Structure 1
Amino acid sequence: MFKVLTRASVRLVERYLPDPFIFVLLLTVVAGTAAVVGEKNSPIQVIRMWGNGFWSLLTFAMQMLLVLLTGHMLANTPIVKRWLAALARLARSAGAAIVLVTVVSLVASWINWGFGLVVGALFAKQLASQVRVDYRLLVASAYSGFLVWHGGLASSIALTIATPGHFSANKIGVISTSETIFSVFNIAIVLALFVAVPLINRLMLPSEKESVYVNPAQLETEETEHDDTSNRPADRLENSKLISWLLGAAGLAYMFDYFVVRSGSLNLNVINFSFLFLALILHGTPRRILRSLDAAIKGGAGIVIQFPFYAGIMAIMIESGLATSLSEWFVSFSTPTTLPFWSFLSAGLVNIFVPSGGGQWAVQSPVVISAAQALGADIPRVAMAVAWGDSWTNMLQPFWALPVLAIAGLKAKDIMGFCLIQLFVSGILISIGLTWL
């Protein structure tokens, strides 16, 4: 029965889910229409909101592009290839490969979402080169680990409200991560997903007849090329190990200062910095890392073109009042017990249009905080409900899958059918944890 449901979900998504670029264009139309009809904004007002916000995610778009590029470059170094290959050898069957890539992705995503996206995708490619397994499900399993990021160490909402002077501090004060990330209910949700997500992925494994395999030779992202032995000064510089090692040593010194001396935490900039300078050292020469960059950058087109459209949608949702209205409607019929559940659902819906944890909390926090205070509900639990809602519908919204898909060389329709099953199962588990634990 489970395989029948999976087969139906995969076929439904393959048939009806458009390319992520078409998806974001349709979301733009839906958000704009809703802002005019539901919030009584004039068409020109909505167009202005959209246009003014169109370029507001340029910094973030560059960060995400660098997640893809630096991850590719690091993975293409000889030593990392050997490490991934050694870890992949632990999987002796298709089922073991599915479980292993899911667990690795869950752990990495719990540590940091950017780290999880890159590691999961790269490990999936390595497994596919060594184990005969349905490549679509393998990559979907790598992406499914992303479910837990907002319940982990890099949870933007939990870290925001734990920071002195945050924008809601005058209403709720500073809430320690012991009440959010490390609370009993949140740890229980994370543990439940660590068990359920690999199990569900394993149960979705198609039969031999229905599986889609990939030729391991097609997974190579970098052509074999010998270094130029010309004696031109320019060629000697490009092949200089001294330059790579000097700059790499400077990068390692900064990382030591950041993590050890200053006790810094993981964030997207630090991950990109670490990946880049480790790749510079491990590739050995500037020419090799540039060759790796040429191979990696081919998959970044989707990120470059789609992020501005999502920035425009976010601007419409926030400035028109549409996101606030959606949140207010969900909490209007809540009780102290059910408020986390309805906040979770509302956050899941808003996340489809505003796929940004920090941005979503800025939109929804005034509504859910006021409701929690009026009802006497548990504010840390409600905050984590918004966080989990933001993570949850990433199994439906292909925005965050873009780096994974670019690394793996697949389309959204190839994996989202499997992710849809995870959406329903994880939604039940998270709802139980938020409401009754």
Structure 2
Amino acid sequence: MTSNAPKVAEARDSGGGETWLARLALRFTAFSQKWLPDAFGFVLIGTFVVLALGLVSGEALLGTPDDPEASSGFGLVDAWGKGFWSLIEFTLQMAIIVIAGYAVAISPPVGRLITWLAALPRTPRGAITFTAAVAMLTAYVNWAFGLVFTAILAKEIARRLPGVDYRAIGAMAFLGLGTVWAQGLSGSAALQVASTASSPAAVQEIIAEGRGSGVIPLTDTIFLWQGIVATAVIFVVALAMAWFLAPSPERAMTAERLGIDLGPAPGTRRSDDRRSRPGEWVEFSPTLTILLFALGVWYLARHFAQAEGNPLNALDLNTINLILILLALILHWRPVHLARAFKEGTPAASGVLLQFPLYGGIFGMIAFTGLHKTIADWLVSVSSEYFYPALISVYSCVLGVFVPSGGGKWVIEAPYVLGAANELQVNQGWMVVVYDLSEASANLLQPFWMLPTLAILGLKARDIMGYTFAMFLALFPTVVVLVTLLAQTLPFP
């Protein structure tokens, strides 16, 4: 008793004490671990929730339009089938992002960076807050790399620092996708409307009705001072929540207590990495690695130089994947090491490969029927100029639970969100910001984007959703207030 008391007191004095928010998060986590299904269960339930919603709103169960190229007029069953493979390219892109991001993160140079960063936090609470900050900063730069990098960082922190709640730090590793990613440099909606090459013609026409031009430059979306202020406030609120949500070391569920093997440290080389026969020269020589890297960089330089307008407009998922593969190639130096890293990272993409087509089916039931218009028309009918940003914020968040694709969902929403903005005289660029912040909040409520993080950490969705739900209760009301108040400082268009 006597020997333990100073340690407990020391833990509390160093930031290990437990707040009422931490106790609330633990209760949410206990509930989610007992009652919530895994991520695959979410998509199964979501499929039939949307199907029921469509039937209640009057959508036909069966039916196909006469035009085989039509994207509307389908019955719910046929829309589900049409949508099932509609995300197949996106599925492969996401699988490669996960695997290539994993390969970059476990390379020796990045592994050393992660090891150095993992040594910085000194207390469990500090570690959880630090992980939240890294998750948001890296997601702002690039959500794909940040998702994988921070998951591996969280795993290494848990290995080095006793008493860290593995569920809490896992939730914080995902935080960037639930907060600032869409307002960052890889935000899908802002990049789409900034380029005529990536924005649908119908959307460009609606934009031109209010602006005279069919594009909205990044200076009028993610680089608006109002958008930067809103993003900064969300960042600060999320950090404060991370600090207060951290459970005390006495109540922490560590990786060891959860029965999770943390494996080797990132960047660890195996002792058998030696050539055993002359035919293996290609796999072990860095010569072709250097040449292929130079070829890729040459292409990327031309690709960005030829981009229309801002070079950032050339930054799409395919470009991001190529950059990640080239980085993994040069950082692993020898082809054999890169091949092994890709093989080890492939299991982390299994959830993506299984579940994304099912989310495509949900997307189809909303996008290829009149369901999305029914909901949107109702929202616009009860809105006004002042409350329109708040109403669309709520709508985008709710829809994001069922269609968790920032870029794909924006294609659905953009025509009526921007069209109604024209009618109500609300700034179009600001509505992109509203969409970005609100759509990101939805990621805290459903496990679609959690899959890569969960796979790397060895956790289930129900292990971290108590913490992400507690985050949502603080962050989303903040988003709604910010987008409403700051909208009043912006002129139309």
Aligned residue pairs: how many? 436
Match of 2:367 in 1: 318
180 and 4 in structure 1: CA distance in 2 versus 1, 3 angstrom threshold: same
CA distance in 2: counterparts of 1:370 and 1:62, whole angstroms? 33
Match of 2:90 in 1: 60
Which structure is larger by alpha-carbon Rg, 1 or 2?
Answer: 2
Correspondence 1:222-241 to 2 at 5 A: 224-233=270-279, 235-241=280-286
Q: 1:195 and 2:236 equivalent?
A: yes
- 1:95-122, CA deviations, whole angstroms, 9 ceiling, x for partnerless residues? 2222222111111111222122122212
Q: Which amino acid counterpart does residue 183 of structure 1 have in structure 2?
A: L
- How far residue 228 of structure 1 moved from its aligned partner, in angstroms, is 4.5
In structure 2, the gaps of 5 or more residues are 1-19, 64-74, 209-214, 487-493
Correspondence 1:291-302 to 2 at 5 A: 291-302=340-351
CA distance in 1: counterparts of 2:343 and 2:269, whole angstroms? 10
Q: 1:276 and 2:325 equivalent?
A: yes
Structure-2-length-normalised TM-score: 0.83
Q: Answer yes or no: is the 8 Å Cα contact 1:230–1:236 preserved in 2.
A: no
Match of 2:80 in 1: 50
373 and 280 in structure 1: CA distance in 2 versus 1, 3 angstrom threshold: closer
- How far residue 256 of structure 1 moved from its aligned partner, in angstroms, is 4.5
Q: Which amino acid counterpart does residue 65 of structure 1 have in structure 2?
A: A
Q: Which amino acid counterpart does residue 184 of structure 2 have in structure 1?
A: G
Which of 56, 60, 72 aligns to 2:102? It is 72
Q: Which amino acid counterpart does residue 28 of structure 2 have in structure 1?
A: S
Correspondence 1:34-113 to 2 at 5 A: 34-43=53-62, 45-113=75-143
Match of 1:171 in 2: 206
Match of 1:184 in 2: 225
Match of 1:159 in 2: 191
Match of 2:288 in 1: 243
354 and 84 in structure 1: CA distance in 2 versus 1, 3 angstrom threshold: same
Question: What is the RMSD computed on CA atoms of the aligned residues?
Answer: 2.2
CA distance in 2: counterparts of 1:252 and 1:65, whole angstroms? 22
- How far residue 393 of structure 1 moved from its aligned partner, in angstroms, is 0.6
In structure 1, the gaps of 5 or more residues are none
- How far residue 23 of structure 1 moved from its aligned partner, in angstroms, is 0.9
58 and 87 in structure 1: CA distance in 2 versus 1, 3 angstrom threshold: same
- 1:320-353, CA deviations, whole angstroms, 9 ceiling, x for partnerless residues? 2212222222222111110000001001111111
CA distance in 2: counterparts of 1:9 and 1:185, whole angstroms? 33
Q: 1:27 and 2:68 equivalent?
A: no
Match of 1:219 in 2: 263
- How far residue 205 of structure 1 moved from its aligned partner, in angstroms, is 0.8
Q: Which amino acid counterpart does residue 352 of structure 2 have in structure 1?
A: I
CA distance in 2: counterparts of 1:347 and 1:75, whole angstroms? 32
- Which has the higher mean CA deviation after the structures are superposed, 413-422 or 373-382? 373-382
- Which has the higher mean CA deviation after the structures are superposed, 143-152 or 253-262? 253-262
Q: Answer yes or no: is the 8 Å Cα contact 2:124–2:249 preserved in 1.
A: no
161 and 253 in structure 1: CA distance in 2 versus 1, 3 angstrom threshold: closer
- Which has the higher mean CA deviation after the structures are superposed, 257-266 or 422-431? 257-266
Q: Which amino acid counterpart does residue 78 of structure 2 have in structure 1?
A: R
Q: 1:401 and 2:450 equivalent?
A: yes
Correspondence 1:258-273 to 2 at 5 A: 258=303, 264-265=311-312, 266-273=315-322
Q: Which amino acid counterpart does residue 285 of structure 1 have in structure 2?
A: R
Structure-1-length-normalised TM-score: 0.93
- 1:372-428, CA deviations, whole angstroms, 9 ceiling, x for partnerless residues? 233223332233222222111110111111111122221111111100011111111
Q: Which amino acid counterpart does residue 138 of structure 1 have in structure 2?
A: I
- How far residue 311 of structure 1 moved from its aligned partner, in angstroms, is 0.7
Partner SS for 1:320: coil
Which of 317, 335, 340 aligns to 2:389? It is 340
CA distance in 2: counterparts of 1:82 and 1:27, whole angstroms? 41
CA distance in 1: counterparts of 2:216 and 2:301, whole angstroms? 30
